[in-house]
Amino acid sequence: MDIDILLVLQEFRNGIGSCLTDFMTKMSFIGEMNTVLIIIALIYWCANKEFGKYLLMGWSGNRVINGLLKVTACVYRPWIRDPRIVPDSAALAAATGYSFPSGHSMNAASLFGGGAIRKELSKGLRIVLGIIVVLIAFSRNFLGVHTPQDILIGTGAGLLVMWLTGKLIAWVDKNPGKDIMVACIGIAGAVAVAVFAAVKSYPMDYNEAGELLVDGAKMANDTYKGVGWCVGFLIGWILEKRYVKFSTDIPMMTRITRLTTGLLSYYAVSLILNPLFKSLIPGVGGTVTTCFIQMFYVTFVFPLFIKLFEHIPAASK
């Protein structure tokens, strides 16, 4: 049934629906991991720290949950299951890991769905955010890289994690001394997922030429990324909460300065520093380390930098 739906969409995409392909490709891009992370980082640094913290925590949890579900179910991508499926070539680059559940759908549920379920936002904004979640999820079907089952479960699981994250943050706010316990449990859970992904057995199916269809060890790479991001967030969250305590109650020009320096420094870390570490630390260790650095920079290092930088002019007056 799910493959039949993709075949219908594929025929539509290759015919009169071709005019929608670019639009769906852009919607899919908005749901990519690094795109979502930088958007949330800018919210956290420049717009609303508490809302950004909620999004960062929920997204980090969703990445670990997504990775766990993928390496547990080990569902092949649609074109591997059925050679009649020919996905859009531009979408293949971001179609990493196993198929179930959709990572893009869980990313969309984290960022846009996380806002859509918050009652303090206006009704109109929540509706718009909900539409974006649907469009990102559907784009994965339209482009042929996920089945309807993948996106439905991905979206549902992502929204559930965001709802639970909101409850958890509210509980921690009422019990501030419990934050370290929450962080320790989260880190232990993330590490357990990484160990599970490393030691479990994966399907070993071969094609007629005797070639392995899917390398399970490579498919688990997204799981290790999620673990690195989650641990980086939890440690950065605790340290920022105790030693930095930066604020987003700032003038517009300060917001613009943070946005500019934040983007530049984030890309310096992601495109210069992380490739260096990746070359020095091979395999799983390099993947976890680079994603840890990326999230730790977002959560703690850059907030520390802006707190010190913005404090200097104030002290000199």
Over residues 32-43, the pLDDT tens digits come to: 999 999 999 999
Q: What is the pLDDT of residues 40-81, one digit of tens each?
A: 999 999 999 999 999 999 999 999 999 999 999 999 999 999
Tokens of 150: 């993948």
Which 3 state secondary structure label does DSSP give 200? coil
State how far the Cα of 265 lies from the Cα of 213, in Å rounded to an integer: 39
Question: What mean pLDDT do residues 175-179 have?
Answer: 92
Instruction: Report if pTM > 0.85.
Output: yes
Is the pLDDT at 114 greater than 50? The verdict is yes
Residue closest to 142 by CA, chosen among 27, 65, 44: 27
State how far the Cα of 59 lies from the Cα of 41, in Å rounded to an integer: 11
Is the pLDDT at 210 greater than 90? The verdict is no
Is the pLDDT at 311 greater than 70? The verdict is no
Which 3 state secondary structure label does DSSP give 83? coil
Is the pLDDT at 94 greater than 60? The verdict is yes
State how far the Cα of 225 lies from the Cα of 239, in Å rounded to an integer: 21
Q: What is the pLDDT of residue 213?
A: 85
Which 3 state secondary structure label does DSSP give 206? strand
Q: How many CB atoms lie within 10 A of CB 175?
A: 11
CA atoms within 13 A on the CB side of 72: 10
Which 3 state secondary structure label does DSSP give 153? helix
Q: Who's near 15: CB < 8 A, 6+ residues apart?
A: none
User: Number of H helices and number of E strands within the chain?
Assistant: 15, 0
Tokens of 212: 């392995």
Do the beta carbons of residue 183 and residue 296 sit within 8 Å? no
Do the beta carbons of residue 257 and residue 294 sit within 8 Å? no
State how far the Cα of 211 lies from the Cα of 205, in Å rounded to an integer: 8
Query: What is the enclosing helix (H) or strand (E) of 97?
Result: none
Is the pLDDT at 127 greater than 50? The verdict is yes
Q: What is the pLDDT of residues 260-292, one digit of tens each?
A: 999 999 999 999 999 999 899 989 999 999 999
Q: Who's near 248: CB < 8 A, 6+ residues apart?
A: 45, 46, 47, 48, 49, 52, 255
Tell me the torsion sign for CA atoms 158, 160, 163, 168. negative
Tokens of 252: 């517009």
